[in-house]
């Protein structure tokens, strides 16, 4: 596979410098990545990390992913950088793949939900990478929304969800991938897929061989974000339906979605935000195909529809 290149996003230098100053000062800055908008803070500052949890209403069992601007910065956050991490990072970074590895002692326990591992990734977005470089430190950044709700793919989604809980929002337009990164643990002997994303299990296996898949974790710290049974949910009840089958009661809306999985993922959250704002009794989405390319989309929809 060819190494991926960054997309061409830009933002005014004074705005970028101000955002970096806020990050260094322990404040929260929302910024675009290729997946969704992130709620960023200094990943090495426990007080700043705590602000993320408070702003989102995020449970303490859910760790944060750290965003870096280089493989060297990622290596500085972990005790081990196995050959599999080297191979995957050279193929998929910058891009929507998070690697979970044993953390270095200086990485705060609050960031990792008390676990001895940390998730790191290099986003494929010039604004995100420029912010990290300007701040000169790794940036912790879960999705910039209230916990459990639809992730934001535009700056307006962030403003609507968080309001004055965030010091600054960098507006980079609509995100391109549209759903959260794949999360892969390399912390033990086996490679374990913790959260599916648009970098698929099959693509990873082409690089490093067999990958196991984990299930949900209920009553302890989660090794990855996105492992709660109910997540990514609109306020309006969401239903997964078979073709031609819709609820017979209430006033509802059926999402019409693209046939290509990457195009589907790119617009999924935006369409859910739009439908959720229109006051329907229910939102219906046709069940996506049971195929590897659709695994991440199925995961997001099933969690969004859980009650």
Q: What is the CATH number of the domain that holds 23?
A: 3.90.870.10
Alpha-carbon gap, residue 90 to 35, rounded angstroms: 19
Alpha-carbon gap, residue 139 to 130, rounded angstroms: 12
Query: Does one domain contain both 161 and 273?
Result: no
**1 located within any domain:** no
Looking at the 3D structure of the chain, how many domains does it have?
2
Alpha-carbon gap, residue 271 to 291, rounded angstroms: 22
Model pTM score:
0.93
Please give the span between the terminal C-alpha atoms of the chain, in angstroms, as a whole number: 40
**224 located within any domain:** no
Query: Does one domain contain both 169 and 25?
Result: yes
Query: Which residues, at least 6 apart from 116, have a Cβ–Cβ distance to it below 8 Å?
Result: 102, 103, 187
Q: What is the pLDDT of residue 221?
A: 65
Query: Residue 282 is encoded by which pair of tokens?
Result: 């229910």
The closest of 167, 168, 198, 157 to 181, measured between CA atoms, is 198
Query: Which residues, at least 6 apart from 109, have a Cβ–Cβ distance to it below 8 Å?
Result: none
Burial profile 111-133: b = 16 or more Cβ within 10 angstroms, e = fewer: bbbebebbbbbbbbbbbbbbbbe
**114 located within any domain:** yes
pLDDT tens sequence for the chain (307 residues) = 333 434 446 678 999 999 999 999 999 999 999 999 999 999 999 999 999 999 999 999 899 999 999 999 999 999 999 999 999 999 999 999 999 999 999 999 999 999 999 999 999 999 999 999 999 999 999 999 999 999 999 999 999 999 999 999 999 999 999 999 999 999 988 999 999 999 999 999 999 999 999 865 555 566 766 667 778 899 999 999 998 888 888 999 999 999 999 999 999 999 999 999 999 999 999 999 999 999 999 999 999 998 8
Query: Does one domain contain both 177 and 256?
Result: no
Q: What is the pLDDT of residue 297?
A: 97
Query: Does one domain contain both 51 and 177?
Result: yes
Query: Does one domain contain both 165 and 299?
Result: no
The closest of 77, 292, 71, 57 to 197, measured between CA atoms, is 292
The H or E element containing residue 254 is strand 252-254
**179 located within any domain:** yes
Alpha-carbon gap, residue 111 to 123, rounded angstroms: 18
**228 located within any domain:** no
Query: Does one domain contain both 189 and 285?
Result: no
Tracing tokens 């970074």 back to the chain, one arrives at 93
Alpha-carbon gap, residue 11 to 20, rounded angstroms: 13
Question: Which residue among 163, 178, 213 closes a domain?
Answer: 213
**2 located within any domain:** no
Query: Does one domain contain both 76 and 145?
Result: yes
**230 located within any domain:** no
**275 located within any domain:** yes
Q: What is the pLDDT of residue 6?
A: 40
Interhelix angle 295-305/261-276, nearest 10 degrees? 20
Query: Does one domain contain both 118 and 261?
Result: no
Q: What is the pLDDT of residue 227?
A: 63
| C-beta separation of 257 from 285 below 8 A | yes
Query: Does one domain contain both 155 and 100?
Result: yes
Domain holding 290, by residue range, is: 238-305
Query: Does one domain contain both 182 and 282?
Result: no
Query: Which residues, at least 6 apart from 221, have a Cβ–Cβ distance to it below 8 Å?
Result: 60, 61, 62, 63, 113, 114, 115
Query: Does one domain contain both 136 and 181?
Result: yes
Query: Does one domain contain both 287 and 206?
Result: no
């Amino acid at each position: 596979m060819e190494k991926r290149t960054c997309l061409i996003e830009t933002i005014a230098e004074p705005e970028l410098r101000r955002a970096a100053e806020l990050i260094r000062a322990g404040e929260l800055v929302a910024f675009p990545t290729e997946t969704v908008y992130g709620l960023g803070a200094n990943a090495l500052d426990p007080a700043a990390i705590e602000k993320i949890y408070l702003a989102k209403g995020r449970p303490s069992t859910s760790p944060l992913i750290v965003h870096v601007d280089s493989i060297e910065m990622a290596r500085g956050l972990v005790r081990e950088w196995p050959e599999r991490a080297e191979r995957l990072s050279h193929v998929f970074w910058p891009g929507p793949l998070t690697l979970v590895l044993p953390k270095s002692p200086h990485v705060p326990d609050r960031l990792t939900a008390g676990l001895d591992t940390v998730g790191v990734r290099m986003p494929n977005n010039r604004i995100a990478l420029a912010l990290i470089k300007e701040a000169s430190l790794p940036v912790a950044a879960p999705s910039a929304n209230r916990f459990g709700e639809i992730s934001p793919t535009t700056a307006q989604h962030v403003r609507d969800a968080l309001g004055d809980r965030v010091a600054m929002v960098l507006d980079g337009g609509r995100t391109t991938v549209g759903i959260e990164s794949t999360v892969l643990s390399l912390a033990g002997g086996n490679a374990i897929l913790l959260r599916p994303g648009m970098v698929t299990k099959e693509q990873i296996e082409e690089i490093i061989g067999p990958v196991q898949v984990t299930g949900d974790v209920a009553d302890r710290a989660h090794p990855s974000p996105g492992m709660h049974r109910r997540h990514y949910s609109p306020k309006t009840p969401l239903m997964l339906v078979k073709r031609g089958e819709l609820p017979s009661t209430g006033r509802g809306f059926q999402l019409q979605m693209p046939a290509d999985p990457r195009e589907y993922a790119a617009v999924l959250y935006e369409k859910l935000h739009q439908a959720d704002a229109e006051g329907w009794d229910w939102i219906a989405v046709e069940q996506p195909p049971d195929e590897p390319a659709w695994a991440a989309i199925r995961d997001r929809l099933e969690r969004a529809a859980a009650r």
